[in-house]
Amino acid sequence: MTGAANETLTPYRKQGFGQTLEPIPPYGLLIVDFVNGFADPEMFGGGNIRPAIARTESLLAHARRAGWPVAHSRIVYADDDSDANIFSAKVPNLLKLKEASPASQIVDELAPVAGEMVVRKTVPSAFFGTMLAPWLAQRGVISLFVAGAVTSGCVRASVVDAMSHGFRPIVVSDCVGDRALEPHNANLFDMEQKNACLLTLSEALELPVSATTAVA
């Protein structure tokens, strides 16, 4: 660890941040906004988002084999913009993400299958105003693995809300991406100090497999 990194960590350690948060089964997986628009550098993408999508294929396959509950999220605004809000006022191009818009569709590599939840939202968090929390709770999830885009926005908001709902967020650090690396790295650091456990994909795949049984 460099001197600068040590200096950054010193006040956090002194004040008691960054305690260990171990993954505890049963597990679930949330994939945040890995849609075509966020995979496209000309729209909302760039940075390390595309490589994160590629690595999430392995994470999703692992979750399916293990029988974890899997949820995906999309940003979807009404065709007539009647649900335009502060988020879209700050980022007007988000209003291009409609139900039938190709940009709002989950990337083919991670397309949901039967039994996986798809959350439609108009704000950063996949939990705010949605049924995601009770859906996960009904399926017994304790630790929620999180992949998606972008690290500094919808991923961060969803992780904070997962924690607030009592789930243990496990951010898979190389399966989340942002259009710029500085906010990506800064938000990974901050989530690890305050809200979540950070694991790499290889570390996540090495955990003992734990399945949950869905409640009818």
Residue 49, both tokens: 């988002």
Quote the longest CA-to-CA distance of the chain.
54
Residue 169 forms beta bridges with which residues?
144
Torsional class of 36: left (φ above 0), alpha (ψ -120 to 50), beta (otherwise) = alpha
Residue 175 annotated to the active site: no
CA–CA distances in Å: residue 153 to residues 84, 102, 178, 186: 18, 21, 9, 12
Separation between Cα atoms, residue 127 and residue 133, nearest integer Å: 6
Separation between Cα atoms, residue 192 and residue 102, nearest integer Å: 34
Q: Which residue out of 154, 157, 162, 201 is catalytically annotated? A: 154
Q: Which amino acid is at 47?
A: G
Separation between Cα atoms, residue 144 and residue 167, nearest integer Å: 6
Q: Are 75 and 33 in contact (CB under 8 A)?
A: yes
Q: Are 127 and 162 in contact (CB under 8 A)?
A: yes
Separation between Cα atoms, residue 203 and residue 216, nearest integer Å: 32
- Measured at the CA of 150, the angle between CA 148 and CA 152, to 5 degrees, comes to 125
Q: Which residues are catalytic?
A: 154
